[in-house]
Amino acid sequence: MIDWLRLAESLISSPWLYAVLIAVSFLDSFLPLIPSEPVVIVAGVYAATGQTNIVLAIAATTLGAFLGDLVPYSIGRLLGTRVLKRMPPGTKRRAAHDWFTRELDARGGFILVSTRFIPVGRYLATLSTGLVGFPLAKYLMFIAFATTSWSAYTALTGYLGGVLFQDNALLGMAVGIGLAFVVTGFIEVVRRLRQRANAVAPDPVAD
């Protein structure tokens, strides 16, 4: 298995670093074992010392993540008809499918953007979006925003750590990764609270 972090560090002063960022963020969009966040954070840390370009790091990471998010969505679209045939109306699985379809129609942007910051959540959301036949144009718009914001946040987290600890890149990297975990955890807590609130909200009474 490729040691992506070590590979990125060995190419810090090389233009090939941006190819690594594209590759790792692409693969991490559908392969859970690929550690894209630490690699992007490293690029951000070294951008604070001028060894990498923060704008190019964000652009490369965004491009890879955007293209990567198309893979599970495309797989979901290909399998969607078969899956739906195995969910006859009236079954619990069909009810869950229909519920998720309605949720995406109502708040697809929030779901795709928030889950992009949650490693496991991003795979489930993008695949499920394809399975329920979410419109491609809307999907592209939402993942463009989601991957750009995720890339900028991850790289700038590393950059902030590098600025604060320019004389100690390792400490800057640790701080950057720590900040990433804290913010990701906060997003997950907010998402769960919203789910609970929606679950207990009373249905409107029809006139």
For residue 42, pLDDT beyond 70 = yes
- Give the per-residue pLDDT at 172: 47
- Give the per-residue pLDDT at 106: 77
Total number of residues shown for the chain = 207
For residue 200, pLDDT beyond 60 = no
Considering the entire predicted model, what is its pTM?
A: 0.75
Task: Give the helix, strand, coil percentages of the chain, each rounded to 5.
Answer: 80, 0, 20
- Residue 52's nearest CA partner among 64, 40, 63 is 40
